[in-house]
Structure 1
Amino acid sequence: MEAVLAKYENQINVFLEDLPDTDEPVWILGACYNVKTKKSELLSDVRSRLWFTYRKKFSPIGGTGPSSDAGWGCMLRCGQMILAQALICSHLGRDWRWDPEKHQPKEYQRILHCFLDKKDSCYSIHQMAQMGVGEGKSVGEWYGPNTVAQVLKKLALFDDWNSLSVYVSMDNTVVIEDIKKLCARADGADLQLQSQRPLDWRPLLLVIPLRMGINSINPVYIQALKECFKMPQSCGVLGGKPNLAYYFIGFIDDELIYLDPHTTQQAVDTESGSAVDDQSFHCQRTPHRMKITSLDPSVALGFFCKSEEDFDSWCDLVQQELLKKRNLRMFELVEKHPSHWPPFVPPTKPEVQTTGAEFIESPDKLSESEEEFEILNA
C-alpha cells in the first residue's frame, strides 16, 4: 500500500506541474476549481472518475469473436465511462471520492461489476458489442457517439438494479413531456393509470447527440459547450478528434480535459460478487488536454438528473445559459412532443438475437497502435 500511495503522490506532482499557471477556473463535471488553491481537490476529483480502456485476453465475444477491443472499442469504452459517471452519481453522489487507501462502499464494487469484460456483466464490452448488432454494427466495428448512446439506452432496460432511464434526443431536440413520461414509468404498469397516481422518478441519463459544424467545430458553439460542463448535472461529453474517441470531463480556458481509452490493459478476472482490484479503473497519469478548436464536430452531451427537481433545474439552466443567450442554438428544448413526430412510446426490452456470425477480423489482425480508431461520424 505504501508503494501505491507513493506512486499516486508522484502522479499528483506530475499533474500539478503540467497544469498551466493561470487564474482561469477549471471546471470538472459541474465542479469549479482554482488551480492555485485547490490543486489536490482537483486531482482527487479527476482520478475518482471510472476510467475504462481497451482490454485484452477476455473471453471471446459471442464465443467465437474478438478477445480484445484494441483498435475498435474506444467509443464503447467512452460510453461506459459516461454511464459509469451517472451510476456513481446515482448511488454515491457527485461528491464521492475514490481513495486507494480506504475501503470502498459496496455500491461502488457493484457498479464496477456492471462493466467487467464478461458476457454476464450488463454493460460489458460483450453486451455493448452484441447489442450494437441491432444498430447495424458488426462486432468489432467502430462506433460513433449516437450509436453508442442508442446501445446504452437498450442495455439499461435490462438493468433492474440501477433502474436508470436513458433518453437519447432526436433531431437536436429534447422533449420535456417525453422525458417525464419515461422517468415516471413503472415497469409492468398500465400506462393509462400513470396519470391517476404519483410514480417515483427513475434517475435519468440524458444524452444529446449533436453535430456542431461540418468538418470542424463551429466557433459559435464553443461557449455553449463550456456552459454544459458548468452545469451540476454534467455527465461529460462523448467525442474526440477525427478517428479518436475521448471522454471529456471538463475544461480550462480554451482546452478540454479528457480521459483517454487508448491504453490496452489486461482484462480483470474476478468471481461474481467478489471485490474487484480497481487500480486499473482509475487514471493513474496526467489527464490529457486538447484545444477545443481541435474537437470533431460530432459529439454527444451527457447529463444526469437524479430527481424530477434536478431535471427541472437543468431545463431552467438550459433556457438561461444556452437558449436565451445564443443566436445559433446547440439544441432545442421543447415542452410538448412535436405533433409531426411519431408518438412517443417508452421503450421496452428488445429481443436480442446474435448468432456469433456477425464478426469481422480477429483481434490478432487488429492493430493495437493508437493511430487506428473509429470514425466519429455516426
Structure 2
Amino acid sequence: MEFFQRVSQQLFELDNTDTQHELVILGETYAAVDKNGAQPEIETTTGVFGQMFGKDRGWNSRFLASVRKLLHFTYRTKFEPIPKDPAGPSPMNLGTLFKDNPLNSIESAINHPDCFCSDIGWGCMIRTGQALLGNALQRLRNMAGANDACERETQIIGWFEDRYAAPFSLHNFVKEGAKLSHKPPGEWFGPSATSRSIQSLVHGFPACGIDKCVISTDSADVYEEDMEPIFAKDPNTVVLLLLGVKLGLSKVNARYWDDIRHILKSPHSVGIAGGRPSSSLYFFGYQDEYLFYLDPHTSQLDLSSLDSSQEKFNSVHSQRFNKIHFSDLDPSMLIGVLVQGLTDWEALKSDVSWSQIIHVSPSRPQNYFLEDDGVVSESDEEEEPPGARNSTLGGEYIDVIAPMDQQADRYATDDDFQDVQCKNQNILVVGDEDSTSPDTEVERVLVGQETVPLALPPEPQQPATAPVCD
C-alpha cells in the first residue's frame, strides 16, 4: 500500500524550475536548491518506477521535509453520518457520485439517505480552516519539546477525526456553522463562517493549548485595547488571530503581493485559507511570484476508520503540493496569526508596522466594539435584524466541475478598480439574493483612494407662498 501511495504522489509532484529565488514556508527560509548539491534520499527501485522515483525534481530537501511536516486535511468519505437539515441541501447529487468511488456513494445513499457521509463538493473551506488550525497547534507542539512530540502529534491528529466526539472534526465545524452562521450541513462555508466555527470550537476545548481566539470577519484590523487586557491577565496567554480580508473586488492588486509574502515569512504566520476562485486552498509559503498551497480537493476514507497511528499520520501528511501565481488569487481569504504571549505580541506589532493588510491600532473607531466572544463588530444606531450582526459578504468556496483555470479568466475585467490605496470602507454588495437573508454579508474592502459617494437627487423645493391670513 505504501508503494502505491508513493507512486501516486510522484506522478503529481511539482518540479522546481526556479533555482534563484528563496523558498519560504511559514517563517522558515530555504535556498532554492541544496547548497551542497545533495538530493533527498530515495529508495532504489529498478525499471520505470525507479526512473520516476529517481527523477531530480529540483527542490531543496530541507524545504520538502518542512512541507511533509504540515498537516493537510482533505475531503473524506464514509464518515459518521451528519443528518441533513430539512431546509438545506440534499446529500445526493451527481457531483459527489462522479468525484467519489461510486460504490461509496451508493452505499451511503442506501444506508443513510438523509445524511451526509462525505464532504465532497462542499467542505473545502472547512478543510483549509482545519489545516490553518491544525498547523497552529503543531507550532505549539513543537514548542513543547521533542520528548513527547510524536505522542502530541498523534493526539492532535485525533482531534480532527471525522466524528462528533473529536473536538475539531468536520462534524463540529458544521454544527457550529449552523448555530453561528446559519449554514446547514452540505452548504459551502466562507472565511467568516469558518473563523466563527474555529473560535467557538477553540474556546470550547481549552486543552488544545490555544487560550483565546480573536477574529475579525471584515478586516485585518487588530486593536491594542482588546489585546492588552488579555496579556495583562496572563502574559503567557496564547492567542490565535483569524483575520478575514478581501483585498480587492475581483483579484488581489499587485501592491499587496509583498504584504502577503511578508505575512507568510513571519514567524507568527500559520497560513492563509481561501484565495482561489471557486475553491479554497491552504497557502503555506511562496517562491518569488508564486504561492505554495495544499489542495483539499482529493478524497480519502474517513480518518477515524484507519487502523494504526502510522496510517493516520500518512493520511494527513503529504509531500504533494502545488503553486499558483499571485495574479490568479481570489481576494477573499482568511489569515491566521499565532501570538504566544506578551513578548510575541510586541514582536508582531513591530513586524506588521508597515503592512498595508494587517493594521494594529491603539483603539477602534467609535462605532466598533469587541463582543464577549472576541468578535470585532460594528455598532449601528439603528437596530439590526436578527442574525445580521458580525456577518460579512465573503466569497463562498465551492467546488465546481469546470476547470479552475477557466474560472480565473472571468476576472480579467475591471482591472482599473484594483489600484487600491489601502482605505477601509464598508461596502454592501447587492446580488440576486434577498439582502435581508442571513447569508448577506458586509465586508470591509480595501478600495482605491477616496470612495466618492453617489450624489442624492436634490430635494424638491416648495414654491414660496404668501402667508394665509384669517
**What's the TM-score bracket when you normalise by the shorter of the two chains?**
0.7 to 0.9
* 2:310 is the counterpart of 1:262: no
- 1:301 corresponds in structure 2 to 335
Using the alignment, how far apart are the partners of 2:136 and 2:373 within structure 1? 20
Q: For residue 182 of structure 2, what is the aligned residue in structure 1?
A: 136
Q: Indicate the residue corresponding to 1:78 in structure 2.
A: 128
Matched, 1:252 2:297: no
What's the CA shift for 1:257? Answer: 0.2
Equivalent residue number for residue 125 of structure 1: 170
The root-mean-square deviation of aligned C-alpha atoms, in Å, is 3.4
Give the secondary structure class of the aligned counterpart of 1:345.
coil
User: How far did residue 10 of structure 1 move?
Assistant: 9.9
Give me the whole-angstrom Cα distance separating, in 1, the residues matched to 2:300 and 2:373.
38
Query: Given the alignment of the two structures, is residue 36 of structure 1 paired with residue 86 of structure 2, yes or no?
Result: no
The yes-or-no answer on 1:334 pairing with 2:361 is yes
TM-aligned CA deviation for residue 36 of structure 1: 1.5
Letter of the 1:36 counterpart: V
Structure-2 residue corresponding to 1:167: 214
Please, which of 15, 18, 22 is the counterpart of residue 18 of structure 1?
A: 15
Q: 1:171 to 1:52 in 2, by over 3 A?
A: closer
Letter of the 1:239 counterpart: G
Mean CA deviation greater in 138-147 or 264-273? 264-273
Query: Which runs of structure 2 are paired with 1:177-188 in the superposition (5 Å)?
Result: 177-181=225-229, 183-184=230-231
Q: Which residue of 2 aligns with 1:192?
A: none
Would the alpha carbon gap of residues 265 and 9 (structure 1) be closer, same or farther in structure 2, given more than 3 Å must change?
A: closer
Which residue of 1 is the match for residue 234 of structure 2? Answer: 199
User: Which runs of structure 1 show a deviation greater than 6 angstroms over 4 or more consecutive aligned residues?
Assistant: 271-276
Cα distance in 2 between the residues matched to 1:367 and 1:107: 33
**Equivalent residue, structure 1, for 2:202:** 156
Deviation for aligned residue 1:47: 1.1
Give the whole-Å Cα distance in 2 for the aligned partners of 1:95 and 1:48. Answer: 16
Q: CA deviation at 1:167?
A: 1.2
Asked if 2 retains the 8 angstrom alpha-carbon contact of 1:258 and 1:288, the reply is: yes
Instruction: State the alpha-carbon separation in 2 of the partners of residues 334 and 279 from structure 1.
Output: 43
Distance 1:44 1:25 in 2: 16
Indicate if the aligned counterparts of 1:240 and 1:295 stay in contact, CA closer than 8 A: yes
Give CA deviations for 1:332-351 in whole Å, capped at 9, x if unaligned: 21122443323543459xxx
User: What SS class does the counterpart of residue 330 from structure 1 fall into?
Assistant: coil
Q: Unmatched 5+ residue regions in structure 2? A: 36-59, 85-113, 376-397, 405-439, 442-470
Q: Retained in 2: the 8 A contact 1:176–1:335?
A: yes
Larger RCO: 1 or 2 (CA < 8 Å, sep 6+): 1
* One-letter code aligned to 1:58: F
Amino acid of the residue matched to residue 369 of structure 2?
Answer: P
User: CA 1:347–1:146 in 2, change beyond 3 Å: closer, same or farther?
Assistant: closer
CA distance in structure 2 between the partners assigned to 1:140 and 1:13 by the alignment: 31
Mapped contact 2:272–2:283 kept (Cα < 8 A):
yes
- Number of equivalent positions: 330
Of the three residues 115, 120, 124, the one matched with 1:65 is 115
Per the alignment, residue 418 of structure 2 pairs with none
Specify the structure having the higher radius of gyration (Cα). 2
Q: Which residue of 1 aligns with 2:191?
A: 145
TM-score by length of 1: 0.78
Q: 2:251 aligns with which of 200, 205, 216?
A: 216
Is the Cα–Cα contact under 8 Å of residues 90 and 203 in structure 1 kept in the other structure?
no
**Which runs of 5 or more structure 1 residues have no equivalent in the other structure?**
97-102, 185-194, 323-328, 349-365
1:319 corresponds to: 353
